[in-house]
Structure formats: structure tokens, C-alpha cells
Amino acid sequence: MIQTFDFSYPSSDRVHTIHAREWVPEGRPRGMVQLVHGVAEHIGRYDETARFLAARGYAVCGEDHLGHGLTAGGKFGYFGPKNGWNLVARDVRRLRELEGERHPGLPYVMVGHSMGSFLTRTYLIRWPGTVNAAVLSGTGQESPAAVASCKALAGALCRLKGPDYVSRTVHDLSLGAYNRAFQPNRTPSDWLSRDEKAVDAHLADPLCAFLPTVGMFRDMMGGLQFIASRANLSRMDRDTPVYFLSGDQDPVGAMGAGVRKVEGMFRSAGCRDITVKLYPGGRHEMFHEINRQEVLCDLLAWIEQAVH
């Protein structure tokens, strides 16, 4: 029987308390999987994925980032007044430390989705060699010019309106643009999945019903610049196995081209063990897609090969 329990720990911002969850299998776990969620969602959305892995012997954990889920405290989509990307990355790192203390000696895999994949890439640069394997779901890399212009716009609005200001214009130029490829649109979130029930559940989730602040966009664009730097990429542990999984109709990954771009960045940095899986017709959230059982089985098989 899988047991779940919630716990908390102090955020690196020294203000908030991070909400975290763990799914524990019966008996001694075979390994530990840390899930890192994306923008405008929360760790509770990964219950099906976590239970799948826990049923096969893996302990699973994850936290709600600053400005998200049960960590937000009602102020959604806001990391903080400054240095937000670093704060969130350090909170991800702290959970890895806590789980290492709770389950010492287990193989450790980090699985990041979307913005969580950007955070996982940040983690691989800042704390190389501290996970046994990494999975990047729904990742991508916009052009340096696009990232810089979005950061500049968000930064200007931060100075003019404050970092907790919400701009529909900034949203429409970034996240809001992803739905255009799927017109005529049934909902504003068709780009997430072909599974209409999964899309509707996301739209109905009160913990997902918010737009990010301009401060969060500024911080996230800074994160994208950090993980695109060749000097930073060279700091990664070249022997850490990395698995890229995405739909080939995911606009965040430029319909597969962006995923291949990041793969190339990792290979240029000397990474030796890279696997890429692009699912035909799949959109952004492969863990909520119509073929998610196939995706989860492939994920499990890769983890088994990578760490055992």
C-alpha cells in the first residue's frame, strides 16, 4: 500500500514555508524520484505519476515552488522581489538534501517538467554529481533575443508597476502564445494535452487559476539565460544520464526542434549519456496525455536502466 504524507521546510527566502509531499511504497524503496513541477501548477497534479512509480518500488517526492500551490499563501505567481530563480532552485536543492537524509544510499533521480525542467537544468549546473540521473520533460530553449526582450519588458514593468504586478500583455506574448498552433481552440489550454478531461481538470483547479507576475517572468527569463550559457553548461557532470521526453507537438519545445536544440547544447558540453524520446502528436504535458501509460512505462524503463 502506498502511503502519502505532506511535510514542510523553510524556504531559502527566509519568509515562506515550502509545502512538500512524499509517496512511499511498501518495504524499502528501490530508489528516490524527485518531481519538479512547472509554472502555474503544483505537485498535487503529479499524483498519478507518483503513484505509478511508488507502486513499482520508488519513493517519490516533490514540493510546491514559491508562489505556487500550498506554498503560495494566497500570493500566486510570485517568487519574490529579487533573485527569485536562485531562491526556487535552492528550495529544490534543499528537498534533495532532506530526502537524502531520510532515505540515505538510494539512487536519486530528478524529473523536471516545463519550468521544472529549466530548474532541473539549473540544478545540474549548480550541484553537479548530486543526482544519479535526470529527466527533462517538456523542455526547450527560446532564442537569446526572444529571452532577452521578454526579460527586458518584464524588468521594465517591475520597475514601473512593482514585481508583483500581473501583465496580460507579457502573458499573451509568452505562455498565451502557445495555444495558437491548435486553432480552432476549445479552451485557452488546448496546447497542454489532447486529453480533454486532463485539460478541463487543469482549468478547474483553483491552484492553477492564475497568471504569473512580471517579477516571475523576469526571474524565469534570467533562469533561461543561465542555463543557455556555455560556461555554465560546462559545469555539469558529464556522466549523469539525462532523458529528454516531449511531445513532438509541444510548442514549448518548438514542436521537437527546441528539444533537439537543448540535446545539442548538452552534447556540446560533453554529456555522454543522453536519450531523447519525442512522442508523435503529443503536446506539452506528456504525463497528462492520452498515451500517458506508455510514457510512464518508458520513463520507468529508462530509470531502471540508468540507475540499477
| Residue among 203, 222, 202, 211 nearest 88 (CA) | 222
Residue 205, classified by CB atoms within 10 Å of its CB into exposed (0-12), middle (13-18) or buried (19+), is middle
Residue 254: phi and psi, rounded to 5, are 50, 45
Contact 174, 218 (CB under 8 A): no
Q: Each residue's pLDDT tens digit in the chain (308 positions)?
A: 899 999 999 999 999 999 999 999 999 999 999 999 999 999 999 999 999 999 999 999 999 999 999 999 888 999 999 999 999 999 999 999 999 999 999 999 999 999 999 999 999 999 999 999 999 999 999 999 999 999 999 999 999 999 999 998 888 878 778 999 999 999 999 999 999 999 999 999 999 989 999 999 999 999 999 999 999 999 999 999 999 999 999 999 999 999 999 999 999 999 999 999 999 999 999 999 999 999 999 999 999 999 98
Q: How high is the pLDDT of residue 90?
A: 98
CA 280, CA 34: separation in Å to the nearest integer?
26
Contact 200, 213 (CB under 8 A): no
Mean pLDDT value across the chain = 96
| Residue among 104, 91, 114, 82 nearest 19 (CA) | 91
CA 276, CA 140: separation in Å to the nearest integer?
13
Contacts of 35 (CB under 8 A, 6+ apart): 43, 46, 49, 50, 60, 61, 62, 111, 112, 113, 116
Contacts of 183 (CB under 8 A, 6+ apart): none
pLDDT digits (tens, 9 = 90+) for 200-238: 999 999 999 899 999 999 999 999 999 999 999 999 999
Question: CA dist 301 to 34, 143, 296, 304, Å?
Answer: 17, 33, 9, 5
| Residue among 81, 160, 68 nearest 152 (CA) | 160
Dmax (CA) for the chain in angstroms is 55
What is the model's pTM?
0.98
CA 270, CA 280: separation in Å to the nearest integer?
28
